[in-house]
A and B are shown apart, each in its own frame.
Chain A
Amino acid sequence: MIAQSGKGQPQEITSPDGKLRTLHHKMSVNRFGHRVVEGAVRNISSDSNVNAEIKAEYYGATGRLIGTEADIVRRLEPGKTGAFEVVYSGEQRWDIKYYKIVTFRQM
């Protein structure tokens, strides 16, 4: 099942230091109903060995915060992309209606 993208967020998000950019992201549901925010991040700097942290918040219908999870994409070389999957597997996963990427930064 393909769920909606992050509410109001553009597909391309740039990290505060300008070194990383998401190329796309969306939320899907796996076989166990886990909510997976999946996408790709690119190292747009000339720095080597850059780690990217992606943290997502998951919300219910009324805007209630249900949970927060994160993933790290490690050792991105300049111009290279890596996939991320931020997985929420808590009991309230079925109440999740949308997500927001709240942290996107170099680690």
Chain B
Amino acid sequence: MIEKQEVTLLPKEPEKTFIKGLSLHSFAQGGGAAQVDTKNGRIVRIRPLHYDEKYTPEEIGQWKVEARGKAFKSRLKTLPNPHGLAYKKRVYSPNRIKYPLKRVDWDTNGDRNPQNRGKSKFQRITWDEATDIIASEIKRMQAEYGPYAIYLQGDGHGESKIVHAPHGCQTQMFKYLGEGEEQGEYTLQVRTPDSWEGWKWGATHMWGMSPFGTYSPGTNGFKDIAENTDMILFWGSDWETTPWQLGGQHMSLWAYFYAELGIKQIFISPDLNYAAAVHADKWIPVYPNTDTALLLAITYTWIDEGTYDKNFIATHAHGFDKFKAYVTGDEDGIPKTAEWASPLCGVPVWTIKALAREWASRVTTFGSGTGGPLCRGSYSTEPARMQVACSAMQGIGKPGTNRTSVFSMPRGALMLNPFTAYRGLGEVRWHPKQFLPKTRLHDAILDATSNKPMKFYSTGSPVMPTEDQFVQYQYPVEGCSEIHMIWSDSPCWITCCNCGNRMIQALRSPKIETVVVQHPWMENDTLYADIILPTCTKFETEDIMIGTDSFCQNVYPEGKCIEPIGESRSDYEAVGEVARKLGIYHQYTEGKTVEEWIKIGYESCGIKDFISWEELNEKGFYCVPPADGWENDPTPRIDFYKDPETYPLKTPTGKIEFEATGLLENFPDDEERPPVPHWIPFGKTHQESRLHPRAGEYPLLLVSNHGRWRSHAQLDDVSWFREIQTCKVKGPDGYMYELVWLNPADAAPRNIESGDVVKMYNERGIVLGGAYVTERIMPGAAYQDHGSRADPITDRIDRGGDNNLISPAKTTSPNTQGQVASGFLVQVEKVSLEQLDTWVKQYPEAFQREYDPASGLCFNAWVEGETQEEI
């Protein structure tokens, strides 16, 4: 019999709908526009935005690409990625920080206990107390050490917001601090080009494409492939995963369309990635960090068989003779044949030759991606340059012989300006007197002093011209202080950068007296803070989005969906509270309210001649149609292909430089980035190779791509994803472990089966995971997604699956500032229940933290005297 229960019905409040941009690209760029439905003050669902509910296809400017009797039409709705559609789980995560916190054993008037960062817990304080402390610490730093003692860490990736900018609001505030020459000064963390390291530090010296190093312009790249390409090589590229954070799932549709057109799709990577799983005509597994050997063997085959474009090379290339001498073995006595490459890269001789011949006989393009060791590996400059070499040898720029990227859409009728209203850190060329490339922060703290400054080449900034790579800088700058305070709004350094364990060591340095973090979630670097300000998600504020979505640029006011969780405030408002305490609030806001900044966003973005403010609010959004005549825009670099003398590249010779003039003149003796691309399995800087003796102890090369179920370090607490087989696996202790993929041939001798807890380790530390035995990873390699949340058991032992903790600390090569976060050596072993039990006994506090299998570690795990409240 069913017992009668008293049920309280919620009032029948009608649903409300808001539009939000849910890409996690960050900065002022949008993407992933979606409709968010709320009821009774809570988010109930997130769904695509249908443009055709308010506009006709003609008004939207629906476009199509016709080729080979078929057509690709832009869709009349957005294609938000699963990350966006599941984002309400992030908003209501038990990991949300609900109020300001201070580390319990950090005393500004006594002992600061830096060695306890990441170990000791936090206690609740008020906003008034927190901002008093921060303002007071800023003043003290400036008085005691000068302005450069304060390091502002505003980095990439996060929610895309304009007025409530996710990163760098502090830099806006610091404009108004200090006097005279010191006004506006601090030490800036320069965002380095993460995930396109090989292009920035390698390819740019070969084909110009300044400043980013990636192939540009992208205009009509998709159209060119549809019309002219026979075969696409997806080299370490995953169109079903990586583009998600940039705005949606449109790249998936293009891959399906290309298959319809009969364009062959070949995937070359150690793992059968998610795009390969559904689109590949063939998957060619290659050992991590050995792409250069494979590409060299392809060029050898072409040279040997005379199947490269000799006329193009004669007129468009510089230094090919030097390159050819290296490939044929005239330089070093080793011909780079398929027979030479096969044991190095793991690809059979027959396959290498077949690929080379297929490539030479078909119009081939690269499907660019930003993942894997090709960009994020040691010496990634070499495979990136080898891709340029191969493209050049087949006449890059001619119809169908290109590279494409997510930015290859039709040109819009106007280019939107999101920056006037943007209140965060912009991608500008200016930098203050003292700065550090992000990848060198731990080196700076641990190794550099005023008496022994750290010297490095390049600011590290992706937007600086190539010549910047030849300029030497130093930290500390003469007359400037070392850093003693860090203020971060992007606390994922230990989960996103090179050797998180070394960064933890740096954060515990007594030199660092104060660490301030502002963030919505209690995760990663936040655990190493002294003061934490709780910030809110974009659902909890009003804003405006001005950005690019899957098929067009669009603008939409973003309403406030729900009230802020706990005492959280937006990043912009949080910094504003500190500005108040410093007496510069009016300057910081420029005397304008958030509503006024939103209106400025509309007025300055470029659409006001096309739609009034009132109509924009009534309709909810505006789509920018493509420009008239976009179909006739030249395909990328066709001008260079047709006439290299009149349309030279931005290289010193104007040609594709097989021998890089800039490298030859500035770093002639750099054996780890020589003027001509070389096969460098290991060197002085890195020994991440199966050929190095280290492989005896650590025999597997770990591949760590951008996560399928996360965007870098974001979204690890989304319960919907954690249920998915390729996201987490439940261990015998009930903990949800991050997957470690192993080939059956590597799992069997280790007595590992799917679901076992394993430890992945090298001399830099131990990271636990859950085994996933699959043939989707080749033998000799292991795979784990990038970005799982750190969960320290003790120093150098992590339970959370944060493999960046044990990635190499050094940069791509000595004169570059790229990070190495994939393709490094590890050993993997099964963890027995006895071993787990030993750790439980040794480090009981780590295993007693409040933990929810559905979402991971909870906020309360780190806060004294709190019990979980549902939010």
Contact = CB atoms under 8 A, between A and B. Distances in A.
A40 B651 CA distance: 12
Contact of A29 (B415, B426, B430): B415
A83 B649 contact: yes
Contacts of A2: 411, 633
B638 to A, nearest CB: 14
B428 A91 contact: yes
Interface string B639-675: 0000001111111101000000000000000000000
Contacts of A23: 646
A83 B415 contact: no
A33 B645 CA distance: 28
A64 to B, nearest CB: 16
B648 A81 contact: yes
Of B407, B427, B649, most buried by chain A (CB within 10 Å of CB) is B427
Interface in B187-227: 208, 210-212, 216-217
Interface in B419-434: 419-420, 426-430
B335 interface: no
A40 B465 contact: no
A106 B363 CA distance: 42
A89 B208 contact: no
Nearest to A75: B652
Contact of B650 (A1, A75, A83, A89): A83
A89 B431 CA distance: 12
Nearest to A89: B429
A74 interface: yes
A83 B627 CA distance: 27
Contact of A82 (B412, B428, B429, B654): B654
B154 to A, nearest CB: 16
A91 B652 CA distance: 29
Contacts of A74: 652
Given A2-B633, A83-B650, A91 B419 contact: yes
Interface in A48-107: 74-75, 80-85, 87, 89-91, 94
A1 B412 contact: yes
Contacts of A29: 415
A34 interface: yes
Interface size classification for chain B? 20 to 34
B417 interface: yes
Given A74-B652, A81-B645, A83-B208, A32 B427 contact: yes
A68 to B, nearest CB: 14
Contacts of A24: 646-647
B428 A80 contact: no
B604 interface: yes
Interface in B394-410: 407
Contacts of A82: 648, 652, 654
A28 interface: yes
B727 interface: no
Contacts of A94: 417, 419-420, 604, 606
A58 to B, nearest CB: 14
A66 B429 CA distance: 16
A43 B648 CA distance: 13
B407 A31 contact: yes
A90 to B, nearest CB: 7
B648 A40 contact: yes
B623 interface: no
A14 to B, nearest CB: 16
A38 B84 CA distance: 38
Contacts of A83: 208, 647-651, 654
Given A23-B646, A87-B465, A94-B604, A33 B652 contact: no
B463 interface: yes
Interface string B441-481: 00000000000000000000001010000000000000000
Contacts of A32: 426-427, 463
Contacts of A81: 645-646, 648, 654
Contacts of B417: 33, 94
Interface string A1-38: 11000000000000000000001100011111110000
A40 B646 contact: yes
A82 B648 CA distance: 6
Contacts of A90: 428
A1 B415 CA distance: 7
Contacts of B649: 83
A61 B216 CA distance: 28
A107 to B, nearest CB: 15
Of B211, B417, B648, B650, most buried by chain A (CB within 10 Å of CB) is B648
Top 6 A-B pairs ranked by shortest CB distance?
Answer: A94-B417, A1-B415, A83-B650, A83-B648, A89-B429, A32-B427
Interface of A: 1-2, 23-24, 28-34, 40, 42, 74-75, 80-85, 87, 89-91, 94
30 contacts: A1-B412, A1-B414, A1-B627, A2-B633, A23-B646, A24-B646, A24-B647, A28-B217, A29-B415, A31-B212, A32-B427, A40-B646, A40-B648, A74-B652, A81-B645, A81-B648, A81-B654, A83-B647, A83-B648, A83-B649, A83-B651, A85-B210, A85-B465, A87-B429, A87-B465, A89-B430, A89-B463, A94-B420, A94-B604, A94-B606
Given A84-B650, A94-B604, 16 more contacts: A1-B412, A23-B646, A30-B216, A31-B212, A32-B426, A33-B415, A34-B463, A40-B647, A42-B645, A74-B652, A81-B648, A83-B648, A83-B651, A89-B463, A91-B428, A94-B420
